[in-house]
Amino acid sequence: MSLAESVKQSVMSGVESVEKTAQKATSDAKQAQLADFTLDYTKDHGIATHFGVLQSDTDTSLKAGVRGPTLIEDTHAREKITHFDHERIPERVVHARGAGAHGYFKLHTPIPEVTYAPILNNTSLSTPTFVRFSTVGGSRGSADTVRDVRGFATRFYTQEGNWDIVGNNDPVFFIQESIKFPDLIHAVKPEPQNEIPQAQSGHDNFWDFISRTPESLHMIMWHLSDRNIPRSFRMMQGFGVHTFICVNAKGERSFVKFHWKPKLGIHSLVWDEALKISGQDPDFHRRDLWDAIEAGSYPEWELGVQVVPEANEHDFDFDLLDATKIIPEELIPIKYIGTMVLNRNPDEYFSETEQIAFCTQHMVPGVEHSNDPLLHLRSFSYQDTQSSRLGSVNWNLIPINRPVCPVFNNHRDGFMQMQINKGPNYWPNRWGTPHPVPGKDGGQVLSPQPLPGGVKERVRGPKFSEHYNQATLFWNSMTDVEKEHIVNAFSFELGKCEDKGVIELTLEQINFIDNKLACLVAANLHVPPPKEVHPNHGKTTKFLSQIDRSNPNNTFTAVGRKLGLFVHDGFDFGIASGIKTAFAAMGIIVAVVGPRKDKIKSSTDGTFLEAQFTFETCRSTLFDAVFFIGGSGPEYDKLKRQGRWLYAAREAFMHFKTVGASGSAVPWLCKYALPGEIDHLVDHLKEDGVAVEQGVVVAGSKLKEAPALVKSLSEEIAKHRAWGRDVSAIAA
């Protein structure tokens, strides 16, 4: 069985009813529209020129004589080369690397008190969506698992037009004002003189900018936390970041923040793993998303809103319009209102994922801009960039960008106009169409917004000058493990800087967040700690930690996780197939790793497992857990010299992952792979039993049936990582 088939078998039984109904949603308006533009190249077709003339030869150009020069008369050859020469378009200036998927959104809890937008009121609607996840700094061909903010851009194809929430996986942003965006991006992108480093924030220019931009420090805490090395797009929270305005049918306005909560929980890689995967599988995240959707294991998110009535705008010690601040959930709880399911991969990356043109100003009636100073120029920027990136103001006519509702206006012509607009092209006119539509009939009427008044000047609101409180709140709310990761991340990033002044100034800034944090980083960098001690306000929130199980935003489940099941010729079939079958029923993906990509024979006559990976074509980093099946025969006798097995066990152990073994692989694990680490566990293992400690699961040689092992193994995988494990002695 191929990996795709085995993945499919694994997950099909583990998915819940809402996911299964997703199949039906594919008959939605957007899919129907896209179908009209889709050519099926898998059917039998002859090759033709762009102007439709069938061609008899596409391999040999027209020549003047057998060995003569190619003739310019060869229209097909010229067209083919010309088209190829012009295939590339500019990549996005930020968020160049991404992966997308189609899906749908279904509301379960209407919020008429907040907005009159039908998509947030009508539970019978299934609204088609397209989501693009991305990294920010790297170019289109960079790696997926770099430390970076992840884009989480969602388009809803509503009956009232396209609504885009162009968000990130962090709820705040680096800067308060759009006018600083080019500076931020120039600083983080590769340095101009040599275009180094690619997709990394660990370099002088970035930290130079950050240390001189204290408003960025809250975001920096998120950036250097585990959030920005996610395990999977499927395991990321998403945030609209800005506070938007929503308006209800009575014209009452509220400030609203949008949140996406993943059904599979919020989980991350560890840094060493992220670094290695960048080389081992640069497509790790897009492959993970693609495979899950192909397998029918559709990722899901709950859409949540934090709502502040306009009258309460000034109730906070921060400004609601400041995108460097969260609204702590203790103050304003999130109300979850609907579910988004991603259930279809694109047919063509370029036409769909590359050409989708998200814009923050794509808002439907009932949702509006607030006065957030990061938002208005930002909205200008998206509109502007799409025209240069996609080559024309007519990018709205590209299939993935077309709304599913009728579109008539008086915009005309331009490069690549793709429809014939018959009739009037101005208003008012004697035909009376296309005409403005009154608000009562669905026309957009922006709500009358009270303006603060004042004089025209370049200023920010008074509360915009406080930059450290929420950075400290974030730090205080982390578990010890997460704090250690942040210290290590600061140490890595600043350790990559060459300029001592940059390091010094950054440490001074971190010191305002927390003195201990600054001292720990200074110690790691072997530079003097900051002298002054600023008081830490001591406040915490339980909604931010990814490890603390009391965070209601997180979920711990083994569903959708991947186990690498290592077998060698002569393995014990019963245990291996027991795990495989049971995990398939639980929605846990099992990939068999063997000496060959072929059928691997077990010790029982006539039984085998098909390996999807060889020991050489995968690494432990590609799995959430590794399990080594015991067995007998010459290969098992040589196991202590099986370097790939030894390395996989050690590396997974070092990355705090679930590691397990059965039968004859247990003494091997204990003596050779993890010497001195699990003696106590193995001493207590009964021959027909299972023993577990800190994510290590071992099964005795006389264990006949898998259920007890399956239970322990899946429980450990669901914990994500065994953080209590001491890995200091492991070299991998």
Q: Which stretch binds ligand HDD (CB under 6 A): 25-33, 115-123, 249-257, 381-389?
A: 381-389
Give whichever of 132 and 263 is closer to ligand HDD, judged by the CB atom.
Answer: 132
Q: Helix H segments across 467-555? A: 469-476, 480-495, 500-513, 515-525
**Contact status: 378 vs ligand HDD (CB under 6 A):** yes
Whose structure tokens read 């059904």? 263
Q: Choose among 354, 238, 339, 343: nearest CA to 292.
A: 343
Give whichever of 132 and 267 is closer to ligand HDD, judged by the CB atom.
Answer: 132
Which of 22, 34, 111, 153 forms a contact with ligand HDD (CB under 6 A)? 153
Q: Which stretch binds ligand HDD (CB under 6 A): 92-100, 411-419, 509-517, 651-659?
A: 92-100
**Contact status: 396 vs ligand HDD (CB under 6 A):** no
Which of 167, 338, 560, 570 forms a contact with ligand HDD (CB under 6 A)? 167
Q: Report the sign of the C-alpha dihedral through residues 84, 86, 92, 93, in that order.
A: positive
Residue 104 and residue 126: Cα distance in Å, rounded?
6
**Contact status: 326 vs ligand HDD (CB under 6 A):** no
**Contact status: 370 vs ligand HDD (CB under 6 A):** no
By CB atoms closer than 10 A (0-12, 13-18, 19+), residue 103 is: buried
* Helix (H) or strand (E) segment spanning residue 699: strand 696-699
Residue nearest to ligand HDD (CB): 151
Are the C-beta atoms of residues 592 and 599 closer than 8 Å to each other?
no
**Contact status: 223 vs ligand HDD (CB under 6 A):** no
Give buried/exposed letters for 699-709 (b at 16+ CB in 10 A, else e): bbbebeebeeb
Instruction: Provide the 8-state DSSP code for 625.
Output: E
Q: Measured from the CB of residue 138, what is the shortest distance to ligand HDD in angstroms? A: 13
**Contact status: 545 vs ligand HDD (CB under 6 A):** no
Give whichever of 353 and 621 is closer to ligand HDD, judged by the CB atom.
Answer: 353
Q: Which residues are annotated as a binding site for heme?
A: 382
Which of 120, 220, 236, 241 forms a contact with ligand HDD (CB under 6 A)? 241
Q: Measured from the CB of residue 281, what is the shortest distance to ligand HDD in angstroms? A: 22
Q: Choose among 619, 680, 679, 685: nearest CA to 654.
A: 619
Query: What Cα–Cα distance (Å) separates residue 690 from each residue in 42, 53, 337, 701, 702?
Result: 50, 69, 43, 10, 10
By CB atoms closer than 10 A (0-12, 13-18, 19+), residue 678 is: buried
Site string for ligand HDD, 114-133 (x = CB under 6 A): ------------------x-
Which of 181, 316, 492, 647 forms a contact with ligand HDD (CB under 6 A)? 181
Binding residues for ligand HDD restricted to 132-151, rule: CB under 6 A: 132, 134, 151
Phi and psi, residue 133, nearest 5°: -100, 150
168 included as an active-site residue: yes
**What SS3 state is found at 626?**
strand
Q: Choose among 144, 87, 167, 127: nearest CA to 354.
A: 87
Are the C-beta atoms of residues 509 and 211 closer than 8 Å to each other?
yes
Give whichever of 115 and 243 is closer to ligand HDD, judged by the CB atom.
Answer: 243
**Contact status: 178 vs ligand HDD (CB under 6 A):** yes
Q: Which residue in 76, 102, 121, 168 is the catalytic one?
A: 168
Long-range interactions of 268-271: CB distance < 8 A, separation 24+ = 268/226, 268/227, 268/229, 268/230, 268/231, 268/235, 268/546, 269/145, 269/226, 269/229, 269/230, 269/231, 270/226, 270/229, 270/485, 270/655, 270/656, 270/721, 271/147, 271/229, 271/485, 271/488, 271/489, 271/492
Q: Measured from the CB of residue 163, what is the shortest distance to ligand HDD in angstroms? A: 14
Which of 104, 130, 157, 173 forms a contact with ligand HDD (CB under 6 A)? 173
Give whichever of 3 and 184 is closer to ligand HDD, judged by the CB atom.
Answer: 184
Counting residues that bind ligand HDD (by CB under 6 A) gives: 26
**Contact status: 238 vs ligand HDD (CB under 6 A):** no
Q: Choose among 351, 363, 354, 362: nearest CA to 398.
A: 351
Which of 33, 198, 385, 614 forms a contact with ligand HDD (CB under 6 A)? 385
Which of 8, 95, 106, 485 forms a contact with ligand HDD (CB under 6 A)? 95
Q: Measured from the CB of residue 98, what is the shortest distance to ligand HDD in angstroms? A: 5
CA triple 496-499-504, angle to 5 deg = 95
369 included as an active-site residue: no
Q: Which residue in 76, 95, 102, 655 is the catalytic one?
A: 95
**Contact status: 97 vs ligand HDD (CB under 6 A):** no
Which of 12, 62, 377, 732 forms a contact with ligand HDD (CB under 6 A)? 377
* β partners of residue 342: 103
Q: Measured from the CB of residue 214, what is the shortest distance to ligand HDD in angstroms? A: 18
Residues recorded for the chain: 732
Give whichever of 127 and 168 is closer to ligand HDD, judged by the CB atom.
Answer: 168
Instruction: Provide the 8-state DSSP code for 26.
Output: T
Q: Measured from the CB of residue 436, what is the shortest distance to ligand HDD in angstroms? A: 29
**Contact status: 263 vs ligand HDD (CB under 6 A):** no
Give whichever of 116 and 173 is closer to ligand HDD, judged by the CB atom.
Answer: 173
Are the C-beta atoms of residues 103 and 298 closer than 8 Å to each other?
yes
Report the interface residues with ligand HDD, using CB under 6 A: 92-95, 98, 132, 134, 151, 153, 166-168, 173, 178, 181, 241-242, 323, 358, 374, 377-378, 381-382, 385-386
Active site residues: 95, 168
